[in-house]
Amino acid sequence: MRFEPTAIDGAWLVVPEPHADARGWFARTFDAGVFAERGLELAVVQANASFNASAGTLRGMHLQREPYGEPKLVSCVRGAAFDVAVDLRPDSPSFRRWHGTDLRAGEGTAFYLPAGVAHGFQTLTDDCELHYLMGHAYVPEAATGVRWDDPAFGITWPAPPAGGRIIAAKDRDYPDFTG
């Protein structure tokens, strides 16, 4: 695995280094020891999947309040998505910065986000599925988020498809960020 830094302090792109032969390829996508050597916390306690039928579906920006912060490793196992992180940790050198990256099935790249970083994505293809390894279980009363188009962050999302964006009212209606 190769780790590529992002604009978010502590968030990394995790790029597999496949070993190929006539059968195809094999690559390690997670190694707790290698993550720990880099100071990345991810004791996996939960795995989640998100299936999205239509291109342009936007989910996010979600996170859990402390002490239930959830580090996560996100990958795309079908289709493609523009995956985004926003740093909401007030003491972080990258506070209020965002980073976006394309995640595509078959490439194997994953996006590691530390606790305190909001996560969201917009699907680039129909029938898109993302997989999450989570470092904390879901706690409904700790769930929160920020609006995908909040001017405090200025995220540049891909243009919506001809049918527009599909977004849940909860995600669309978060108030302006004031932190």
pLDDT at 66: 96
State the catalytic residue, choosing from 62, 112, 119, 136.
62
pLDDT band for 84, please (50, 70, 90 cuts): very high
- Is 62 a catalytic site residue? yes
- Which pLDDT band holds residue 162 (cuts at 50, 70, 90)? confident
116 conformational bin, left if phi > 0, alpha if psi -120 to 50, beta if neither: left
48 CB neighbour count, 10 Å cutoff: 12
Cα gap 68→66, rounded to integer Å:
4
Report residue 1 as tokens.
């695995």
Count CB neighbours of 52 within 10 A.
22
Please give the structure tokens belonging to residue 170.
């909860």
Q: Mark whether 112 is an active-site residue.
A: no
Q: What is the pLDDT of residues 135-160, one digit of tens each?
A: 999 999 999 999 999 999 999 999 88
- Give the pLDDT confidence score for residue 26 in this predicted structure: 93
Which tokens go with 129? 């599925």
Predicted TM-score of the model (pTM): 0.94
Determine the average pLDDT of the residues in 4-16.
Answer: 97
Per-residue pLDDT for 164 more than 90? no
- Residue spans of alpha helices (H) in the chain: 32-37, 169-172
| Residue-wise pLDDT tens digits, 88-135 | 999 999 999 999 999 999 999 999 999 999 999 999 999 999 999 999
pLDDT by residue (tens digit) across 43-78?
Answer: 999 999 999 999 999 999 999 999 999 999 999 999
Nearest to 108 by CA among 23, 38, 20: 20
> For residue 163, what pLDDT is reported?
82
**Predicted local distance difference test score (pLDDT) of residue 179:** 81
CA neighbours closer than 13 Å in the CB half-sphere of residue 143 = 11
Catalytic residue among 99, 119, 132, 174: 132
Domains in the chain, CATH or no CATH each: 2-172 (2.60.120.10)
Rounded to whole angstroms, how far apart are CA atoms 71 and 114? 4
Q: Are 96 and 55 in contact (CB under 8 A)?
A: no
CA distance 127 to 133: 20
